[in-house]
Structure 1
Amino acid sequence: MAALLLLEDEEALGQTVAEALARHGFQVHWAKGEEEAWSLLLAHPLDALILDVRLPEGEEAGFRFARAVREMGLQKPILFLTARDALEDRLLGLEVGEDYLTKPFHLPELIARVRALLRRGEIRPKRVEVGEVALEVESRRVLRKGVPVPLTAKEYQVLELLLLNPGRLFSKEEILERVWGPGYEGESNLVEVYIKNLRKKLGEGLIETVRGLGYRVPG
Structure 2
Amino acid sequence: MATILVVEDEKPINDLITMNLRLVGHQFFKAFGGMEVPPILEREKIDLILLDVMLPELDGFELMRRIRSLNIPVIFITAKDSLADRITGFELGADDYIIKPFEILEMLARINVVLRRSTKEQSTLIIDDVEIRTLERQVYKLGCAVELTAREFELLDVLIQNRNIALSREKLLELAWGYDYEGETRTVDVHIRQLRKKLGWEERIKTVFKLGYRLEVPGEP
- TM-score by length of structure 1 reads 0.55
Partner residue, 2:65 = 67
Q: Which runs of 5+ in 1 are unaligned?
A: 138-219
Correspondent of 1:98 among 71, 74, 95 = 95
2:78 counterpart residue number: 82
Give 1:26-175 correspondences, 5 Å limit: 26-57=26-57, 61-70=59-68, 73-96=69-92, 97-123=94-120, 124-127=123-126
Counterpart of 2:188? none
- Return the alpha-carbon distance in structure 1 between the equivalents of residues 66 and 45 of structure 2: 17
Structure 2: how far apart are the matches of 1:118 and 1:31?
Answer: 20
Q: Specify whether residues 95 and 2 from structure 1 end up closer, same or farther in structure 2 by C-alpha distance, changes over 3 A only.
A: same
CA distance in 2, matches of 1:91, 1:136: 34
What's 1:18 paired with?
A: 18
Q: CA deviation at 1:98?
A: 1.1
**Cα offsets for 1:90-147 (capped at 9, x unmatched):** 00111111110000000001111111111012244213999xxx9999xxxxxxxxxx
Percent of pairs with identical residues: 35
The CA distance in 1 between the partners of 2:101 and 2:127, in whole Å, is 39
Q: Which amino acid aligns with 1:11?
A: K
Q: Alpha carbons of 1:135 and 1:81: their partners in 2 closer, same or farther (altered >3 Å)?
A: farther
Structure with greater Cα Rg? 2
- Contact conserved, 2:89 with 2:97, CA < 8 A, in 1? yes
Q: CA RMSD in A?
A: 2.4
- 2 CA distance for matches of 1:62 and 1:47? 18
Would the alpha carbon gap of residues 128 and 82 (structure 1) be closer, same or farther in structure 2, given more than 3 Å must change?
farther
After superposition, give the CA deviation of every residue in 1:137-194 in whole Å (9 maximum; x if it has no partner).
9xxxxxxxxxxxxxxxxxxxxxxxxxxxxxxxxxxxxxxxxxxxxxxxxxxxxxxxxx
Q: Does 1:5 align with 2:5?
A: yes
Q: Any stretches of 5+ residues in structure 2 without a counterpart? A: 134-221
Provide the aligned length of Structure 1 versus Structure 2: 130
1:7: how far off? 0.4
Give the whole-Å Cα distance in 2 for the aligned partners of 1:35 and 1:13.
19
Contact 2:3 2:47 in 1 (8 A): yes
Q: How far is the alpha carbon of 1:65 from its aligned partner?
A: 0.5
Greater RCO (CA < 8 Å, at least 6 residues apart) = 1
Query: Alpha-carbon deviations, 1:63-108, whole Å to 9, x = none?
Result: 11111001xx310110000000000000011111111000000000
TM-score by length of 2: 0.54
1:74–1:89: structure 2 CA closer, same or farther, 3 Å change rule?
same
